[in-house]
Each structure stands twice: as C-alpha cells, then as structure tokens.
Amino acid sequence: MIILDTIRGLSDSKFSGILGSVFACVGLDLHGTPGLLKVHQKLTKETSGTEPDEFCKVKVACSNGYSFWFSSTSGKIWARTSAGVWSLAHTTTGTGDDWCLGAMEYNGFIVWATPSRIHLIAVANADDAWASTVQDWATFTNADTSWHPMCIQDLTLWIGDGKYLASIGSTISVTPGTGFTANALDLTSGYRIKCLKKYEEDILIGTFINSYVNTAELIRWDLVSSSWNTSDPIEECGINAFMEDDNYIYVQAGLAGNWYFYNGSQLEPYKRIPGDYSAAKYGEVYPDSVGNFMNRPIFGFSNGAGNPAPQGIYTLGGYSRDYPKVMDLSWVISEATTSSIEIGAVMVAGFTLLVAWKNGDSKGVDAIDWSNKYASAYLETMMLFQDKRDVSKTLKKVACFYNSLPASTGITFSYDVNGAGYVAMTSVTNSLLNEIAADLSVGNVGSLQIKVAFTVSSNDAPTLEIPLAIEIDGLE
C-alpha cells in the first residue's frame, strides 16, 4: 500500500518532485488545519453597485474604510465600501494619458500617477464620490508609460519614473508640487523602475530594460547616498514583483515563473511556478498582484502568451515556521478557468481577499465567499512508479480516509495508466473506517497517475486525513 498522507504542494513536473508533492493541487487548503486536507472557499465576482468594468492593476486600501481601484486603460477610479458596495468615484481628466500606473495613501492624501502626471485627493474627501481632487499636481520627467510603483520609507513617498526615483516629502499639500522631487536617484541609462519595496531602513528597486534584454538588477539604496549601495544583476527579463513574508522578501523575475529569495545583498533561486515555458509560452506576476492572507504569502500569476502554467491565486507558505513553505494554486477566479487570465491588483483586509482579473473582454473584482466552497477542487499525483516503469503491475485499490463527510458531499477517483487519459472509478463509502474506496483490477500498469476530486454542497466539503492510499500488485 502506498500512502500519501501529507500534500507538500506542487511538484516540479509530472515526473519529478519532493516527497509528498503532487502534479496539480487546485482549490485545496493545505495549511488551515495541520493534518487535514480541506477545500478552500470560492471566489465570487462582486456585483453590488457600480463595480469595475475595466482591468484594475492598482489599488489602495484607505484608512477611512474604503478601498480604491484604478483602471489600467482609462482614468476611471472605483470606490468600494467595507460592506462591498461599489461606485465610480472619479474619472481622471488631467493632462496627457489618464490610465493609472501607481497609487498609495500618504500623509493624509491619496496619491495616484498617470504616465506623465501625479494627482492627489485628501483622504477626508475620498469616498464614493470624490470631490476637490488636485489633478496634474506634479509632472514626471521621464513619463514612463508602464509603471510608476510607489512605497513609503523614512516618512517619504518614493515613486518610480523610468530611470529616476522621484519623491514626495511630508510637506505635501494641495499646492501643486509641494515637497516633490522629480529626480531623487538616477539609475543607469536604459533601466526602468518596475517595482519598489521598503527593506529595513532602505529601498529595494526592481528594474526592467525591455522584452529583448535578459538582464535586470535588484538595487538597494539607503535614501541618502548619491548612488545606490548594492546591486545584484540577474539574467532575467525584468524584476516583476516583490512579495513579503514577515522579514523575508521574495522576488519574482522574468517570464518563466522564477521566484528568488533576497538575502540582503543577493538574489538566491528559490522556487519556480511549475509549467512549460518557451518563447511562445510565458507569464509573470504583476507588481500589485501580491499579498499576505492569513499569514501566508499569496500572488496572482498572469498569462503572457500560450498558458505556460495555470493562472489564479497561488499560495507560497506553511502553517508556521515548523512547517515547510510549499506552493499551490489555492484560488481560481469566478470565471472558473485557469487559462488566458490576467490577475491584477490583489488586496487583503482582515478575512477579506479581493482579486481583480481580466479574461478576454471580461473584467471584474472577486471577493472570497465565506458562504460557499470552491466546487471544482482536485489534486493529481505525479506519475508514479517511474523507477519501475518496465514492470507490469496491477492496480487493485484506491482509497482515501476522511475526517468529515457532510451530506451531499463526496470524493471521486480517476486513474491514468501509461498516459492514456483519465478513467473514472466507482467508489464505495465505508462509514465504519471513514473510508472512500474503489476496488478494481487494472492490469498492464507501467506508469500511473491518480486524480482525487472533491464534491461540495454549498459551504460543506469533505475533509481528509489521508488523501490517498493506493494498493498495487507486481512490485515484489
């Protein structure tokens, strides 16, 4: 009997991975209760009020209880109350292009950036109908058309603008340009600032050149020196996003799903989003598509082309420091697909998880639905018995053992022998052993994969103590 009693996240491929890892793990909660495998809550599109109808890649969680979501294609800005009611709060009509490339609350104001201009509104005036906005408050020098990332460090708001790092000091007011410096730090010509993150007393700057140059640098600056303090070049097509896990910083770079760990001076290869990457298949994590939900880092993976890996919200974490950090695809957006999706801004507010997404012409913002489980959760094993591939075996039994099995819920099994495709099994429930099992006799097994799918009922789903037990003859 082969027992899979602990799921240790996604394997590196169908053919290889650490002990306990699986080829697919979708919509399952690996961390909520140690020793139990559960189903995550679903994501549901928010439709109360005038919700976003354009793709939002930037958001602000405001101290007044609202959150604000900024269009990546126009000047529209939506407000969301803490109760989940949406309204179109404002439309930017300043000079030049009006789509938003960065935003943050700072020193009593919400500051947002379009390609060439900075705009602001006092938090006191920021509700579901903005009044007294100050548009064209300041002008960028480089007017980068893709990114104006922001972060606060040392009581100063820092803003990326191409190869310049701009700043706004604490003297900010409605008077245009008060406290604004267009060029607080000048990077090497050709570099563009794509993402920013405060780190200890310094700032981390993630750079990008262009889609054809496979070089990027992570720059660390102390805010006062005339040049940056350290930099670490990597052979990747841009540094895309920073993700924080308490005092640890992870960096997503390039278009092939690579994550790095930052040790304070250098980037160390850490994990990779499993997938099939090539010139025709690639994707990335957008700068504002990261968060920390229930003390676990999460990120949204977006398709660039060719769907190299499933798209949605991944978790990279563990229950506590005593458990390994593993990666899994925790949430699928409300469109119920993991292909041709872009994940925009991600926001966490207590037990609320909000995810902006784009699926072709469809756009929206999902919220975690605490009244319903995700209805299509499943796992797939790696290809088993690769070391005995030349031995003909017989599959005799597949089973799982549950801790709870609410009414109208269940588990279904399928097998794939020698890569021929999945075949459904008929299973029987033994309530004395809390076992769901399929007895069968499938011969000529060289390689084998098993799929375990969960049937849910509203907010009820099975919880498993042992997700998978396999009995097979012919291994002696």
Task: Provide the CATH number for the domain around residue 445.
Answer: 2.60.120
Q: Do 6 and 97 belong to one domain?
A: no
- Cα dihedral: 458, 459, 460, 466 (round 10): 120
Q: Do 214 and 263 belong to one domain?
A: yes
Considering only CA atoms, which of 311, 256, 267 is closest in space to residue 289?
Answer: 311
Reported in sequence order, the residue ranges of 387-462 that DSSP labels E, i.e. its strands, are: 393-404, 410-417, 423-424, 428-430, 435-445, 448-455
- CATH number where 209 lies: 2.130.10.10
Across 341-367, average pLDDT: 97
Q: Do 354 and 397 belong to one domain?
A: no
Q: Do 334 and 207 belong to one domain?
A: yes
Instruction: Tell me which of 355, 373, 391 is where a domain ends.
Output: 373
pLDDT of res. 105: 98
Considering only CA atoms, which of 298, 357, 355, 304 is closest in space to residue 328?
Answer: 298
Would you say residue 224 has pLDDT above 80? yes
Q: Do 318 and 389 belong to one domain?
A: no
Classify residue 76 as exposed, middle or buried by CB count within 10 Å of its CB (0-12, 13-18, 19+): buried
Report CA Rg, the chain.
24
pLDDT of res. 281: 98
pLDDT of res. 124: 97
Q: What is the pLDDT of residues 109-127, one digit of tens each?
A: 999 999 999 999 999 999 9
- Which of 23-27, 223-227, 307-311, 460-464 has the lowest average pLDDT? 223-227
String of b and e for 318-343 (b: at least 16 CB within 10 Å)? beeeeeebbbbbbbbbbbeebeebbb
pLDDT of res. 476: 65
Q: Do 387 and 366 belong to one domain?
A: no
Q: Do 239 and 136 belong to one domain?
A: yes
Across 13-19, average pLDDT: 94
Across 183-201, average pLDDT: 95
Domains: count for the chain: 2
Q: Do 323 and 452 belong to one domain?
A: no
State in Å, rounded, how far the first CA of the chain is from the last one.
12
Q: Do 251 and 382 belong to one domain?
A: no
Instruction: Tell me which of 325, 351, 373 is where a domain ends.
Output: 373
Instruction: Tell me which of 373, 407, 435 is where a domain ends.
Output: 373
- In which domain, by residue range, is 107 found? 42-373
Would you say residue 268 has pLDDT above 70? yes
Query: Distance (Å, rounded) from C-alpha 70 to C-alpha 55?
Result: 8
Residues ≥6 apart with Cβ < 8 Å to 205 = 160, 165, 187, 193, 195, 196, 218, 219, 220, 221, 228
pTM of the predicted structure, to 2 decimals: 0.96
pLDDT of res. 446: 92
pLDDT band per the 50, 70, 90 thresholds, residue 228: confident
How far CA 89 is from CA of 67, 69, 76, 97, 122, in Å, comes to: 11, 10, 8, 19, 14
Q: Do 195 and 314 belong to one domain?
A: yes
Q: Do 266 and 336 belong to one domain?
A: yes
Query: Distance (Å, rounded) from C-alpha 329 to C-alpha 338?
Result: 10
Q: Do 95 and 181 belong to one domain?
A: yes
pLDDT band per the 50, 70, 90 thresholds, residue 474: confident
Instruction: Give phi and psi for 256, each to the nearest 5.
Output: -115, 30
Residues of the chain with pLDDT > 70: what percent?
A: 100
